[in-house]
Amino acid sequence: MLVGIDHGHAGEGLLDELEALTDTAGIVTLATLVQKRARPDPATFVGKGKVEEILAACDELGADAVIFNDELRASQTRNLEDALGRKVIDRTQLILDIFAQRAASKEAKLQVELAQLRYRLPRLRGWGQALTQTGGGIGTRGPGETQLEIDRNKITRRIHALERRLRQVAEERSTRRKLRSHGDLPQVALVGYTNSGKSTLLNRLTSADSFVEDKLFATLDTMVRRGPLPEGREALFIDTVGFIRDLPHHLVPAFAATLEAVRYADLVVHIVDIARPTWNEDYRSVLDTLEREVFRGGDVRPPVLSALNKIDLCPEGAERDLPGVRISARDDVHIQELLAAIADILYPADREVEVLVPYATLGRFASLRDPHRVRSLEYTDEGARVRVLLSPAELADVEASGGRVSASASSPVEEPRSHRP
Ligand SMILES: Nc1nc2c(ncn2[C@@H]2O[C@H](COP(=O)(O)OP(=O)(O)OP(=O)(O)O)[C@@H](O)[C@H]2O)c(=O)[nH]1
Ligand SMILES: [Mg+2]
Protein backbone atom coordinates (compact mmCIF):
# COMPACT_ATOMS: atom_id res chain seq x y z
CA MET A 1 0.00 0.00 0.00
CA LEU A 2 1.39 3.37 -1.04
CA VAL A 3 0.76 6.47 1.07
CA GLY A 4 1.53 10.09 0.37
CA ILE A 5 0.77 13.55 1.63
CA ASP A 6 -0.51 16.19 -0.74
CA HIS A 7 0.71 19.51 0.58
CA GLY A 8 -1.84 21.36 -1.46
CA HIS A 9 -1.06 21.50 -5.13
CA ALA A 10 0.27 18.08 -6.10
CA GLY A 11 -2.99 16.85 -7.57
CA GLU A 12 -3.29 13.58 -9.40
CA GLY A 13 -0.21 11.61 -10.19
CA LEU A 14 1.34 12.38 -6.81
CA LEU A 15 2.15 8.72 -6.27
CA ASP A 16 3.01 7.81 -9.86
CA GLU A 17 6.73 8.04 -9.33
CA LEU A 18 6.52 6.11 -6.06
CA GLU A 19 4.56 3.43 -7.88
CA ALA A 20 7.21 3.25 -10.60
CA LEU A 21 9.89 2.92 -7.93
CA THR A 22 7.88 0.22 -6.18
CA ASP A 23 7.46 -1.64 -9.44
CA THR A 24 11.18 -1.31 -10.12
CA ALA A 25 11.89 -2.82 -6.71
CA GLY A 26 9.74 -5.79 -7.67
CA ILE A 27 6.88 -5.00 -5.31
CA VAL A 28 3.23 -5.12 -6.36
CA THR A 29 1.08 -2.14 -5.46
CA LEU A 30 -2.38 -3.06 -4.17
CA ALA A 31 -3.72 0.37 -3.30
CA THR A 32 -2.73 4.00 -2.93
CA LEU A 33 -3.88 6.56 -0.44
CA VAL A 34 -3.29 10.31 -0.38
CA GLN A 35 -3.99 12.60 2.53
CA LYS A 36 -4.26 16.33 2.06
CA ARG A 37 -2.57 18.18 4.89
CA ALA A 38 -0.24 21.13 5.23
CA ARG A 39 2.46 19.33 7.20
CA PRO A 40 3.12 15.77 8.30
CA ASP A 41 2.01 14.63 11.72
CA PRO A 42 5.19 14.56 13.86
CA ALA A 43 4.30 11.20 15.38
CA THR A 44 2.71 9.23 12.57
CA PHE A 45 3.29 11.25 9.40
CA VAL A 46 -0.37 11.00 8.37
CA GLY A 47 -3.12 11.79 10.87
CA LYS A 48 -4.37 9.32 13.46
CA GLY A 49 -7.60 8.74 11.55
CA LYS A 50 -5.68 7.93 8.38
CA VAL A 51 -3.55 5.39 10.22
CA GLU A 52 -6.74 3.54 11.13
CA GLU A 53 -7.90 3.74 7.55
CA ILE A 54 -4.58 2.39 6.27
CA LEU A 55 -4.73 -0.45 8.76
CA ALA A 56 -8.24 -1.43 7.69
CA ALA A 57 -7.33 -1.30 4.00
CA CYS A 58 -4.16 -3.32 4.55
CA ASP A 59 -6.08 -5.99 6.44
CA GLU A 60 -8.69 -6.19 3.76
CA LEU A 61 -6.27 -6.34 0.84
CA GLY A 62 -3.69 -8.48 2.59
CA ALA A 63 -0.90 -5.90 2.11
CA ASP A 64 2.47 -6.88 3.57
CA ALA A 65 3.98 -3.43 3.72
CA VAL A 66 3.15 0.26 3.62
CA ILE A 67 5.40 2.53 1.59
CA PHE A 68 5.48 6.27 2.26
CA ASN A 69 6.27 8.87 -0.36
CA ASP A 70 8.67 10.86 1.84
CA GLU A 71 11.54 10.21 4.16
CA LEU A 72 10.17 9.26 7.59
CA ARG A 73 11.78 10.06 10.88
CA ALA A 74 12.96 7.09 12.90
CA SER A 75 10.23 7.68 15.47
CA GLN A 76 7.54 7.93 12.81
CA THR A 77 8.59 4.62 11.30
CA ARG A 78 8.52 3.03 14.74
CA ASN A 79 5.09 4.40 15.62
CA LEU A 80 3.66 3.41 12.28
CA GLU A 81 5.04 -0.11 12.46
CA ASP A 82 3.56 -0.50 15.90
CA ALA A 83 0.19 0.81 14.81
CA LEU A 84 0.00 -1.03 11.51
CA GLY A 85 1.66 -4.28 12.51
CA ARG A 86 3.52 -4.50 9.20
CA LYS A 87 6.67 -3.34 7.60
CA VAL A 88 6.84 0.41 7.01
CA ILE A 89 9.14 1.59 4.24
CA ASP A 90 9.89 5.15 3.20
CA ARG A 91 10.93 6.52 -0.19
CA THR A 92 14.62 6.67 0.73
CA GLN A 93 14.66 3.07 1.85
CA LEU A 94 12.89 2.00 -1.31
CA ILE A 95 15.45 3.77 -3.49
CA LEU A 96 18.27 2.28 -1.42
CA ASP A 97 16.73 -1.11 -1.94
CA ILE A 98 16.63 -0.65 -5.70
CA PHE A 99 20.23 0.47 -5.67
CA ALA A 100 21.17 -2.59 -3.62
CA GLN A 101 19.42 -4.90 -6.06
CA ARG A 102 20.99 -3.31 -9.08
CA ALA A 103 24.50 -2.35 -8.08
CA ALA A 104 26.87 -4.32 -10.26
CA SER A 105 30.35 -2.89 -9.95
CA LYS A 106 32.46 -3.23 -6.84
CA GLU A 107 32.37 0.50 -6.26
CA ALA A 108 28.60 0.77 -6.66
CA LYS A 109 28.15 -2.08 -4.18
CA LEU A 110 30.40 -0.45 -1.60
CA GLN A 111 28.59 2.84 -2.03
CA VAL A 112 25.17 1.32 -1.63
CA GLU A 113 26.18 -0.55 1.49
CA LEU A 114 27.57 2.64 2.94
CA ALA A 115 24.37 4.52 2.14
CA GLN A 116 22.27 1.78 3.72
CA LEU A 117 24.30 1.74 6.91
CA ARG A 118 24.25 5.50 7.20
CA TYR A 119 20.52 5.37 6.83
CA ARG A 120 20.13 2.58 9.37
CA LEU A 121 22.38 3.89 12.10
CA PRO A 122 20.06 6.52 13.57
CA ARG A 123 17.12 4.17 13.09
CA LEU A 124 18.33 1.25 15.13
CA ARG A 125 15.49 0.16 17.36
CA GLY A 126 15.81 -0.80 20.93
CA TRP A 127 16.78 2.03 23.23
CA GLY A 128 15.61 0.77 26.57
CA GLN A 129 14.55 -2.50 25.00
CA ALA A 130 16.33 -4.74 27.47
CA LEU A 131 19.92 -4.47 28.45
CA THR A 132 20.54 -7.71 26.71
CA GLN A 133 23.01 -10.52 26.98
CA THR A 134 25.71 -9.34 29.30
CA GLY A 135 29.01 -11.11 29.05
CA GLY A 136 29.08 -12.16 25.42
CA GLY A 137 32.83 -12.41 25.36
CA ILE A 138 35.56 -10.80 27.34
CA GLY A 139 36.76 -7.52 25.97
CA THR A 140 34.03 -7.30 23.41
CA ARG A 141 31.99 -4.98 25.47
CA GLY A 142 32.26 -3.07 28.68
CA PRO A 143 30.00 -3.63 31.65
CA GLY A 144 26.52 -2.33 31.03
CA GLU A 145 27.06 -1.88 27.35
CA THR A 146 23.89 -2.84 25.56
CA GLN A 147 23.40 -4.94 22.49
CA LEU A 148 22.26 -1.82 20.78
CA GLU A 149 25.51 -0.03 21.48
CA ILE A 150 27.39 -3.02 20.15
CA ASP A 151 25.34 -3.00 16.96
CA ARG A 152 25.91 0.69 16.75
CA ASN A 153 29.65 0.28 17.17
CA LYS A 154 29.78 -2.50 14.63
CA ILE A 155 27.94 -0.44 12.10
CA THR A 156 30.08 2.60 12.79
CA ARG A 157 33.23 0.56 12.30
CA ARG A 158 31.92 -0.87 9.05
CA ILE A 159 31.01 2.63 7.89
CA HIS A 160 34.55 3.82 8.53
CA ALA A 161 36.00 0.84 6.69
CA LEU A 162 33.74 1.46 3.71
CA GLU A 163 34.60 5.14 3.67
CA ARG A 164 38.31 4.29 3.64
CA ARG A 165 37.88 1.81 0.83
CA LEU A 166 35.83 4.24 -1.21
CA ARG A 167 38.38 6.99 -0.72
CA GLN A 168 40.96 4.63 -2.19
CA VAL A 169 38.74 3.89 -5.15
CA ALA A 170 38.21 7.61 -5.69
CA GLU A 171 41.95 8.22 -5.53
CA GLU A 172 42.59 5.49 -8.06
CA ARG A 173 40.07 7.10 -10.32
CA SER A 174 41.66 10.51 -10.01
CA THR A 175 45.11 9.03 -10.68
CA ARG A 176 43.78 7.39 -13.79
CA ARG A 177 42.36 10.70 -14.85
CA LYS A 178 45.68 12.47 -14.36
CA LEU A 179 47.49 9.77 -16.30
CA ARG A 180 45.41 10.39 -19.34
CA SER A 181 47.52 12.14 -21.88
CA HIS A 182 46.95 15.69 -22.91
CA GLY A 183 45.61 15.07 -26.37
CA ASP A 184 42.78 12.94 -25.11
CA LEU A 185 39.27 13.07 -26.46
CA PRO A 186 36.79 15.54 -25.04
CA GLN A 187 34.39 14.06 -22.51
CA VAL A 188 30.67 14.48 -22.83
CA ALA A 189 28.62 13.44 -19.78
CA LEU A 190 25.03 12.41 -20.42
CA VAL A 191 22.99 13.34 -17.36
CA GLY A 192 19.31 13.53 -16.62
CA TYR A 193 16.36 12.37 -14.63
CA THR A 194 16.07 8.64 -14.21
CA ASN A 195 14.39 6.94 -17.21
CA SER A 196 14.87 9.99 -19.44
CA GLY A 197 16.75 7.99 -22.09
CA LYS A 198 20.44 8.50 -21.26
CA SER A 199 21.45 4.94 -21.97
CA THR A 200 19.35 4.82 -25.13
CA LEU A 201 21.15 7.93 -26.32
CA LEU A 202 24.57 6.51 -25.43
CA ASN A 203 23.75 3.44 -27.47
CA ARG A 204 22.62 5.64 -30.32
CA LEU A 205 25.73 7.83 -30.28
CA THR A 206 28.28 5.08 -29.85
CA SER A 207 27.74 1.49 -30.60
CA ALA A 208 27.50 0.68 -26.92
CA ASP A 209 25.01 -1.71 -25.43
CA SER A 210 24.24 0.11 -22.23
CA PHE A 211 21.35 -1.45 -20.35
CA VAL A 212 18.03 0.17 -21.30
CA GLU A 213 14.84 -0.54 -19.44
CA ASP A 214 11.57 1.16 -18.70
CA LYS A 215 12.32 1.11 -15.00
CA LEU A 216 13.89 3.66 -12.73
CA PHE A 217 17.61 3.47 -12.04
CA ALA A 218 18.36 0.98 -14.79
CA THR A 219 21.89 2.34 -14.87
CA LEU A 220 23.94 2.39 -11.70
CA ASP A 221 27.43 2.53 -13.06
CA THR A 222 28.94 5.03 -15.37
CA MET A 223 29.81 3.68 -18.78
CA VAL A 224 32.21 5.41 -21.14
CA ARG A 225 32.26 4.90 -24.90
CA ARG A 226 33.96 6.59 -27.80
CA GLY A 227 31.70 7.97 -30.49
CA PRO A 228 31.92 10.05 -33.65
CA LEU A 229 31.23 13.76 -34.02
CA PRO A 230 30.84 15.60 -37.31
CA GLU A 231 33.96 16.57 -39.26
CA GLY A 232 35.64 13.29 -38.42
CA ARG A 233 36.11 14.17 -34.77
CA GLU A 234 35.37 11.97 -31.81
CA ALA A 235 34.38 12.31 -28.18
CA LEU A 236 33.99 10.11 -25.14
CA PHE A 237 30.37 9.81 -24.10
CA ILE A 238 29.65 8.93 -20.49
CA ASP A 239 26.38 7.35 -19.37
CA THR A 240 25.53 8.15 -15.76
CA VAL A 241 23.16 7.29 -12.94
CA GLY A 242 19.82 9.05 -13.21
CA PHE A 243 18.79 11.73 -10.78
CA ILE A 244 15.51 11.86 -8.95
CA ARG A 245 13.52 14.56 -7.23
CA ASP A 246 14.49 15.06 -3.56
CA LEU A 247 17.44 12.79 -3.98
CA PRO A 248 17.83 11.31 -0.52
CA HIS A 249 20.98 12.75 0.93
CA HIS A 250 22.19 9.30 1.96
CA LEU A 251 22.40 8.40 -1.66
CA VAL A 252 24.65 11.20 -2.73
CA PRO A 253 27.85 9.22 -2.10
CA ALA A 254 26.42 6.44 -4.22
CA PHE A 255 26.48 8.88 -7.08
CA ALA A 256 30.15 9.68 -6.63
CA ALA A 257 31.36 8.30 -9.94
CA THR A 258 28.55 10.01 -11.80
CA LEU A 259 29.05 13.31 -10.05
CA GLU A 260 32.73 13.21 -10.77
CA ALA A 261 32.16 12.40 -14.42
CA VAL A 262 30.00 15.48 -14.59
CA ARG A 263 32.43 17.69 -12.72
CA TYR A 264 35.28 16.89 -15.07
CA ALA A 265 33.31 16.74 -18.30
CA ASP A 266 34.04 19.13 -21.12
CA LEU A 267 30.34 19.26 -21.84
CA VAL A 268 27.23 18.10 -20.05
CA VAL A 269 24.31 16.96 -22.17
CA HIS A 270 21.18 17.12 -20.04
CA ILE A 271 18.59 14.67 -21.34
CA VAL A 272 15.04 15.66 -20.51
CA ASP A 273 12.07 13.33 -21.06
CA ILE A 274 9.66 15.95 -22.38
CA ALA A 275 6.85 13.44 -22.70
CA ARG A 276 6.52 13.28 -18.93
CA PRO A 277 3.90 15.59 -17.45
CA THR A 278 6.45 16.63 -14.85
CA TRP A 279 9.22 17.37 -17.39
CA ASN A 280 9.69 20.89 -16.12
CA GLU A 281 10.14 19.90 -12.46
CA ASP A 282 12.37 17.00 -13.52
CA TYR A 283 14.51 19.44 -15.46
CA ARG A 284 14.83 21.80 -12.51
CA SER A 285 15.54 19.09 -9.99
CA VAL A 286 18.45 17.81 -12.08
CA LEU A 287 19.92 21.30 -12.34
CA ASP A 288 19.40 21.85 -8.60
CA THR A 289 21.11 18.58 -7.78
CA LEU A 290 24.05 19.45 -10.00
CA GLU A 291 24.32 22.82 -8.36
CA ARG A 292 24.00 21.45 -4.81
CA GLU A 293 25.97 18.25 -5.03
CA VAL A 294 28.36 18.48 -7.93
CA PHE A 295 29.88 21.86 -8.37
CA ARG A 296 32.08 23.36 -5.74
CA GLY A 297 32.18 27.08 -5.26
CA GLY A 298 35.19 27.86 -7.40
CA ASP A 299 34.68 25.17 -10.02
CA VAL A 300 34.59 26.10 -13.64
CA ARG A 301 31.29 24.64 -14.75
CA PRO A 302 31.17 22.72 -17.97
CA PRO A 303 28.66 24.08 -20.48
CA VAL A 304 25.29 22.35 -20.40
CA LEU A 305 23.32 21.52 -23.54
CA SER A 306 19.76 20.23 -23.20
CA ALA A 307 18.53 17.34 -25.32
CA LEU A 308 14.74 17.22 -25.20
CA ASN A 309 14.07 13.54 -25.68
CA LYS A 310 11.08 11.39 -26.66
CA ILE A 311 9.62 13.93 -29.07
CA ASP A 312 8.03 10.95 -30.79
CA LEU A 313 5.64 10.81 -27.83
CA CYS A 314 4.79 14.51 -27.96
CA PRO A 315 1.93 15.66 -30.09
CA GLU A 316 2.95 17.89 -32.97
CA GLY A 317 3.21 21.48 -31.83
CA ALA A 318 3.21 20.70 -28.12
CA GLU A 319 5.43 23.52 -26.94
CA ARG A 320 8.07 22.93 -24.35
CA ASP A 321 9.47 26.19 -23.24
CA LEU A 322 13.04 24.98 -22.94
CA PRO A 323 16.00 25.78 -25.13
CA GLY A 324 17.58 22.61 -26.49
CA VAL A 325 17.75 20.15 -29.33
CA ARG A 326 14.57 18.12 -29.72
CA ILE A 327 15.42 14.50 -30.31
CA SER A 328 14.14 10.98 -30.18
CA ALA A 329 16.97 8.77 -29.04
CA ARG A 330 14.88 5.69 -29.67
CA ASP A 331 13.74 6.60 -33.18
CA ASP A 332 16.94 8.32 -34.28
CA VAL A 333 15.40 11.75 -34.82
CA HIS A 334 17.63 14.87 -34.92
CA ILE A 335 20.64 12.97 -33.62
CA GLN A 336 22.87 14.61 -36.23
CA GLU A 337 21.64 18.01 -35.08
CA LEU A 338 22.51 17.10 -31.52
CA LEU A 339 25.98 16.01 -32.55
CA ALA A 340 26.49 19.22 -34.51
CA ALA A 341 25.45 21.23 -31.45
CA ILE A 342 27.87 19.21 -29.30
CA ALA A 343 30.73 19.75 -31.73
CA ASP A 344 29.85 23.40 -31.91
CA ILE A 345 30.37 23.79 -28.19
CA LEU A 346 33.43 21.55 -27.94
CA TYR A 347 35.14 23.23 -30.88
CA PRO A 348 33.82 26.76 -30.78
CA ALA A 349 36.86 28.23 -32.48
CA ASP A 350 36.61 26.37 -35.77
CA ARG A 351 36.02 28.61 -38.75
CA GLU A 352 35.52 27.91 -42.38
CA VAL A 353 38.20 29.75 -44.25
CA GLU A 354 39.44 29.82 -47.79
CA VAL A 355 43.20 29.57 -47.99
CA LEU A 356 45.52 29.68 -50.90
CA VAL A 357 48.41 27.35 -50.16
CA PRO A 358 51.51 26.37 -52.10
CA TYR A 359 51.32 22.76 -53.25
CA ALA A 360 54.16 21.80 -50.92
CA THR A 361 52.20 23.10 -47.93
CA LEU A 362 49.11 21.19 -48.98
CA GLY A 363 51.02 17.97 -48.49
CA ARG A 364 52.20 18.95 -45.04
CA PHE A 365 48.84 19.37 -43.27
CA ALA A 366 46.41 16.53 -42.83
CA SER A 367 43.67 19.04 -42.04
CA LEU A 368 43.90 20.39 -45.59
CA ARG A 369 43.26 16.97 -47.06
CA ASP A 370 40.72 15.71 -44.51
CA PRO A 371 37.58 14.97 -46.52
CA HIS A 372 35.46 15.69 -43.46
CA ARG A 373 36.77 19.22 -43.16
CA VAL A 374 37.55 20.28 -46.68
CA ARG A 375 34.54 21.89 -48.31
CA SER A 376 36.07 22.57 -51.70
CA LEU A 377 39.44 22.28 -53.38
CA GLU A 378 40.52 24.01 -56.56
CA TYR A 379 43.91 23.76 -58.24
CA THR A 380 45.21 27.11 -59.51
CA ASP A 381 48.49 28.40 -60.87
CA GLU A 382 49.39 29.97 -57.55
CA GLY A 383 48.61 26.85 -55.50
CA ALA A 384 45.60 25.07 -54.06
CA ARG A 385 42.56 27.12 -53.10
CA VAL A 386 41.02 25.23 -50.20
CA ARG A 387 37.81 26.03 -48.39
CA VAL A 388 38.33 24.25 -45.10
CA LEU A 389 37.37 24.12 -41.46
CA LEU A 390 40.31 25.10 -39.26
CA SER A 391 40.95 25.95 -35.65
CA PRO A 392 42.88 29.18 -35.05
CA ALA A 393 46.01 27.16 -34.18
CA GLU A 394 45.82 25.15 -37.37
CA LEU A 395 45.25 28.27 -39.42
CA ALA A 396 48.29 29.91 -37.84
CA ASP A 397 50.39 26.87 -38.78
CA VAL A 398 49.16 26.94 -42.35
CA GLU A 399 49.88 30.64 -42.62
CA ALA A 400 53.35 30.15 -41.19
CA SER A 401 54.02 27.70 -44.02
CA GLY A 402 53.10 30.14 -46.73
CA GLY A 403 49.34 29.80 -46.84
CA ARG A 404 47.25 32.95 -47.38
CA VAL A 405 43.68 33.48 -46.28
CA SER A 406 41.68 34.56 -49.29
CA ALA A 407 38.23 34.54 -47.71
CA SER A 408 36.97 33.99 -44.22
CA ALA A 409 33.53 33.31 -42.90
CA SER A 410 32.99 35.83 -40.17
CA SER A 411 30.79 33.58 -38.07
CA PRO A 412 31.18 29.96 -37.04
CA VAL A 413 30.53 27.59 -39.89
CA GLU A 414 27.41 26.05 -38.50
CA GLU A 415 24.67 28.56 -38.14
CA PRO A 416 24.81 30.03 -34.67
CA ARG A 417 22.58 27.73 -32.74
CA SER A 418 19.64 29.20 -30.95
CA HIS A 419 19.53 26.20 -28.65
CA ARG A 420 22.91 26.92 -27.20
CA PRO A 421 22.40 27.53 -23.48
N1 LIG B 1 9.24 6.75 -26.92
C2 LIG B 1 10.53 6.87 -26.62
N3 LIG B 1 11.05 6.13 -25.63
C4 LIG B 1 12.35 6.28 -25.35
C5 LIG B 1 13.19 7.20 -26.04
N6 LIG B 1 14.42 7.13 -25.51
C7 LIG B 1 14.37 6.21 -24.53
N8 LIG B 1 13.12 5.68 -24.42
C9 LIG B 1 12.65 4.65 -23.48
O10 LIG B 1 12.72 5.14 -22.16
C11 LIG B 1 13.03 4.10 -21.24
C12 LIG B 1 14.24 4.47 -20.43
O13 LIG B 1 15.37 4.53 -21.27
P14 LIG B 1 16.85 4.41 -20.69
O15 LIG B 1 17.75 4.71 -21.83
O16 LIG B 1 17.03 3.17 -19.92
O17 LIG B 1 16.82 5.65 -19.70
P18 LIG B 1 17.96 6.10 -18.67
O19 LIG B 1 17.91 7.59 -18.62
O20 LIG B 1 19.25 5.48 -19.02
O21 LIG B 1 17.36 5.52 -17.32
P22 LIG B 1 18.10 5.11 -15.94
O23 LIG B 1 19.39 4.45 -16.28
O24 LIG B 1 17.11 4.19 -15.34
O25 LIG B 1 18.27 6.36 -15.17
C26 LIG B 1 13.23 2.85 -22.10
O27 LIG B 1 12.03 2.12 -22.10
C28 LIG B 1 13.55 3.42 -23.48
O29 LIG B 1 13.18 2.54 -24.52
C30 LIG B 1 12.59 7.97 -27.10
O31 LIG B 1 13.21 8.79 -27.77
N32 LIG B 1 11.26 7.77 -27.32
MG1 LIG C 1 20.39 4.23 -17.99
Residue pLDDT, tens place only, 317-341: 667 788 899 999 999 999 999 999 9
For 349-360, what is each residue's pLDDT tens digit? 677 889 999 888
| Domain pair 2-98 / 187-346, same fold | yes
At residue 177, does pLDDT exceed 70? no
| Best mean pLDDT range from 86-95, 204-213, 309-318 | 86-95
Substitution site in 238, 330, 331 for ligand 1 pocket (most atoms within 8 Å of beta carbon): 330
Segment 300-328 mean pLDDT: 86
383 CA from centroid of ligand 2 (Å): 52
CATH 3.40.50.970 fits 187-346, yes or no: no
For 208-250, what is each residue's pLDDT tens digit? 777 888 888 877 777 888 899 998 888 999 998 888 887 777 7
At residue 176, does pLDDT exceed 90? no
For 370-389, what is each residue's pLDDT tens digit? 888 888 999 998 889 999 98
CATH number for the region 2-98 comes to: 3.40.50.11060
221 CA from centroid of ligand 2 (Å): 9
185 CA from centroid of ligand 1 (Å): 26
At residue 59, does pLDDT exceed 80? yes
Atom of ligand 1 nearest to the CA of 203: 15
Instruction: Enumerate the domain spans of the chain.
Output: 2-98, 103-128+146-179, 187-346, 351-408
Reported confidence tier of residue 134, pLDDT bands at 50, 70, 90:
very low
Q: Domain 351-408 is in which class?
A: alpha beta
Helical (H) or strand (E) element with 81:
helix 74-84
- Check pocket membership of 195 for ligand 1, CB cut-off 6 A: yes
The pLDDT score that the predictor gives to residue 54 is 96
- Check pocket membership of 307 for ligand 1, CB cut-off 6 A: no
Substitution site in 21, 212, 240 for ligand 1 pocket (most atoms within 8 Å of beta carbon): 212
Q: Distance of CA 333 to CAs 201, 330, 409, 411, Å?
A: 11, 8, 29, 27
What is the distance between the alpha carbons of residues 341 and 205, in angstroms, rounded to a whole number?
13
End-to-end CA distance of the chain, in Å?
Answer: 43
